[in-house]
A = this chain, B = another copy of it.
Amino acid sequence: MLMNVKKKITISDVAEKAGVSKSTVSQYINQRYKYMSSETKERIERVINELNFRPNDNARNLKVKKTKVVGILVANILHTLSTEIIQIVEDRLQHNGMKAFVCNSADDPEKEKEYIDLLIAKQVDGIIIFPVGNDYTVYNYLINYSIPIVFVDRLVDGITTDSVLLDNHAASFLAVSTLAEKGHENIAFFTLPIDFPVTPRIERIDGYKKAMAACQLKLREELIFSISKDKIQDALQNCLHFNKPPTAIIAGNDLVLLQILKYLKKNNVSVPEKMAVIGIDNVLYADLYEPSITTIAQPIQQMGLKAAELLLDRIKNESQHPFITYRFAPEIVERNSI
């Protein structure tokens, strides 16, 4: 049964064995049965099954410009947000007869570029990107090739296209105002680095600052930390010795939250008595932690659906309406950490 070197079956093999022309086999494959006798149809069907024939898409796509495949290029496949959105996007695509190839940039702009080249080379019909790079020329390739793109979670300076992301300002505002209502004044904000611009981080910091002002709280720059994951615990430890230490912390995302909780637990800092905590991004274990963690969640379902819809619209009807950036309202899930 298993043979190592096996000549690939082509449409010619099928045609020959079925005693018809390649054209006719092609008609069959493309389900244009209109002018086909049922005998021919059945014969071809049988031969295809016997030979286990699968048409070569590479050849097909050379003629037919649509591939019915879209690329989903994620900044980092380890982020739960990405995989959850992928799942939703894919489901929509499926309903529209399309399939998705997921590519993982692994936070590496170079890899991202390579995948963009590959997806162009494979002639995908469109791409959904969680961008990592900040070099707009890369994304311009796609635009030059008239390949529709939708950005998710992050934006790129210099590129205008349909985009879907959280209303990050609102997320920060929600966090700050909720804490302010509980009487907190010294609220620390922790987020990952912004060496190069990462939309959510920048916007959440900015939102934090504006929210502090709106709540008439004094902005203390030294309570804003934008640092790498493994420096968070040290920074937190450090700021507890400020002469006015924070009484509340906002974690800029799930990874940051994890570090903060690890520190607080290790050092028996009681939550929320000694330190209130709010995390942006919902996390699986929010209910499980003691106390359960108040979080600000992204409406993932809606965001995924919108991203898919935007891409499908562009793919189908070369619609020329202007590009739109959709902002989705965050939702606070109040638990017991504040």
Q: Is the CB of B103 within 8 A of A144?
A: no
Cα distance A103–B69 when bound, in Å? 11
A215, CB-defined interface residue at 8 Å? no
The one of B78, B86, B114 in contact with A87, judged by C-beta atoms closer than 8 angstroms, is: B78
A45, CB-defined interface residue at 8 Å? no
A274, CB-defined interface residue at 8 Å? no
A156, CB-defined interface residue at 8 Å? no
Output the least CB separation between A104 and chain B (Å).
6
Q: Is the CB of B104 within 8 A of A90?
A: yes
The one of B78, B121, B145 in contact with A83, judged by C-beta atoms closer than 8 angstroms, is: B78
Output the least CB separation between A253 and chain B (Å).
14
The one of B54, B91, B288 in contact with A265, judged by C-beta atoms closer than 8 angstroms, is: B288
Output the least CB separation between A176 and chain B (Å).
25
Output the least CB separation between A289 and chain B (Å).
6
A141, CB-defined interface residue at 8 Å? yes
A302, CB-defined interface residue at 8 Å? no
Q: Is the CB of B101 within 8 A of A6?
A: no
Output the least CB separation between A303 and chain B (Å).
16
For A6, what are the chain B residues with a Cβ–Cβ distance below 8 Å?
144-146
A318, CB-defined interface residue at 8 Å? yes
A191, CB-defined interface residue at 8 Å? no
Cα distance A141–B55 when bound, in Å? 13
Q: Is the CB of A111 within 8 A of B94?
A: yes
Cα distance A84–B55 when bound, in Å? 33
Residue of B nearest to A122 (CB): B57
The one of B55, B78, B100 in contact with A121, judged by C-beta atoms closer than 8 angstroms, is: B55
For A262, what are the chain B residues with a Cβ–Cβ distance below 8 Å?
287-288
Q: Is the CB of B122 within 8 A of A52?
A: no
CB 8 Å contact bits of A36-77 with B (1 = contact, 0 = none)? 000000000000000010111111111000000100000001
Q: Is the CB of B57 within 8 A of A62?
A: no
Cα distance A3–B78 when bound, in Å? 36
Contact sample, A vs B, 21 pairs, CB 8 Å cutoff: A2-B144, A4-B320, A5-B146, A6-B144, A6-B146, A54-B120, A58-B61, A59-B62, A60-B121, A62-B62, A69-B118, A87-B106, A90-B106, A99-B118, A102-B103, A102-B104, A122-B122, A258-B285, A258-B288, A285-B288, A288-B288
